[in-house]
Every structure is written in C-alpha cells, then in structure tokens.
Structure 1
Amino acid sequence: MVKTTVYLPDELELRLDAEASATGVSKAELIRRGIAMLLDASDRPRNDAPLPVFRSGRSRDTDEMRDDIYLQIKQRSGRR
C-alpha cells in the first residue's frame, strides 16, 4: 500500500470518527472503501488494456524498454 495524506473538514472528520466507532472499521478502511465506491461508480471510460509487449527481434537493455514504456503511457494519456 501507499501512504497518502488527506485533509478533511472538521465535520467530515467527526462523521468519519463516529462511523468508525459504530462499525468497528478503521477510518483508513472506510476512506479506502469510499474511494473505491466513487471510482467504481465513475462514468469515465476505463482503459484496462495491458501494457504493450515489444518484440523487436533483439535483446534490449532496461533503458530502451523504459523509454518505450514511457512513450506508450504518454501516448495513451494524451488520448483522454
């Protein structure tokens, strides 16, 4: 997991504390669930395509592979 800091308004923090106490679920887990629900409900199209496989016919070093992957990601993000 990756640690992320989130600043919450006081009212939302109080509600989150109350929900965590009432359900016995940690605040972090409630936040993760809320984010997952938001993203699952999003109408934005998902791009579930895997990263491309490169077959150049020769062995390539890690710098070449990294550069190709970077270009693929840059091209895909430009299509949004």
Structure 2
Amino acid sequence: MLKTTVYLPEDLEVRLDAEAAATGVSKAELIRRGIAMLLDASERPRDNAPLPVFRSGRSRGVDEMRDDIYRQIKQRSARR
C-alpha cells in the first residue's frame, strides 16, 4: 500500500472517529472503502483494454518497446 495524507474538516474527522469506534473498523479502512465506493460509482468511462501486443515480425529492443508503450498510454490518456 501507498501512504497518502488527507486533510479533513473537523466535523468530518469527528464523524469518522465515531464511525470507526462504533464499527471497530479503522479510520484508514473506512477512508479506503469510501474512496472505492466513489470510484466504483463513477460514470466516467473506463478503458480496460489491455496494452497492445506488438507483432512486427522482427526482434525489438527494450527502448523501442518502451517508447511504443508510452505512446499508447499517452494516446489513451488524451481520450479521457
């Protein structure tokens, strides 16, 4: 897991503390669940297509493959 700092208004912090105490679930877990719910409910289109497979008929170097993958990622990001 990665660590992220989130600043909360005092009233939200109080409510989060109360929910954690009442349910026995850590504040961090409640925050993770809330973020997951928000992202799962998002109507933003998801592009779950796999990264492209390159079949050029010739051997390719790591740098060339990396550049092609970066180019594909950049193109997909621009569509969002």
Q: TM > 0.5 between the two? A: yes
Partner of 1:63: 63
Q: What's the CA shift for 1:60?
A: 2.2
- By relative contact order (CA 8 Å, sep 6+), the higher-ranking structure is 2
- Check if 1:54 corresponds to 2:62: no
Aligned to 2:38: 38
Q: What is the match of residue 11 of structure 1?
A: 11
Unpaired segments of 5 or more residues in structure 2? Answer: none
CA distance in 1, matches of 2:11, 2:63: 49
Structure 1: 5+ residue runs without aligned partners? none
TM-score by length of 2: 0.90
Residue in 2 that maps onto 1:24: 24
In 1, distance between residues paired with 2:63 and 2:4? 30
In structure 2, the residue corresponding to 1:16 is in which secondary structure?
A: helix
User: Shift of residue 61 of structure 1?
Assistant: 2.5
TM-score (norm. length: structure 1): 0.90
Alignment-mate amino acid for residue 19 of structure 1: E
Question: Residue by residue, what CA displacement relative to the aligned partner does 1:28-62 show, whole Å, maximum 9, x if unpaired?
Answer: 11011001100111111111111111112222222
